[in-house]
């Protein structure tokens, strides 16, 4: 199911969803964490992104695994290419787990502050914001690293 569609690798088609939704979740979660005044306006979007972004990252990761297995079974990958692809897969896995953690934490904060944007004690609110900032930054960084290593695998010389 996650291997090919009309002869095209599913990975190549779905990775763009992760490229769009993961940074949007990171940005939305950080704003939601630090700007309590905006929470009533953007809570629904953050909650939606908290579900969509990890799902997009998971589907991208799973379809990438299928694509990787297809490439290796065809024995058309050089040793240097396999090394690059292994790094790409490792980065993709890390991106998924960070995005999942960011999504779960974002959903928890949205649920806790849905009725009252300032319901949490200031120290707890700040702790959420800082952790969201770190997870958002790491998610975005690993997404970049994953994309860069994927582009190197496709377009680089090895």
pLDDT tens track for 6-30? 888 899 999 999 999 999 999 999 9
**Cα separation, 24 vs 106, whole angstroms:** 12
- Mean pLDDT along residues 107-114: 97
Using the predicted structure, report yes or no on whether residue 158 has a pLDDT greater than 70: no
Mean pLDDT over each residue of the chain, to the nearest integer: 94
| CA distances (Å), origin 57, targets 31, 50, 110, 130 | 21, 11, 21, 23
5/3 Cα distance (integer angstroms): 7
Predicted TM-score (pTM) of this structure = 0.93
Report the distance separating Cα 4 and Cα 126, nearest Å.
45
CB 32 within 8 A of CB 110: yes
Dihedral over Cα of 36, 39, 40, 41: its sign:
positive
Share of the chain above pLDDT 70, in %: 99
């Amino acid at each position: 199911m996650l291997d090919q569609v009309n002869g095209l690798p599913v990975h190549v088609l779905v990775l763009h969803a992760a490229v769009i939704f993961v940074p949007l979740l990171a940005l939305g979660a950080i704003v939601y964490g630090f700007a309590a005044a905006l929470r009533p306006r953007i809570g629904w979007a953050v909650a939606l992104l908290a579900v969509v972004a990890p799902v997009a990252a998971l589907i991208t990761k799973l379809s990438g695994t299928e694509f990787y297995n297809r490439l290796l079974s065809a024995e058309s990958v050089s040793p240097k290419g396999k090394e690059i692809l292994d790094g790409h897969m490792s980065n993709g896995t890390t991106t998924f787990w960070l995005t999942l953690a960011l999504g779960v934490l974002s959903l928890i904060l949205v649920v806790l502050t849905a009725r009252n944007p300032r319901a949490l004690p200031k120290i707890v609110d700040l702790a959420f914001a800082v952790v969201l900032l770190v997870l958002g930054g790491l998610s975005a960084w690993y997404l970049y690293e994953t994309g860069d290593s994927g582009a190197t695998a496709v377009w680089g010389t090895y």
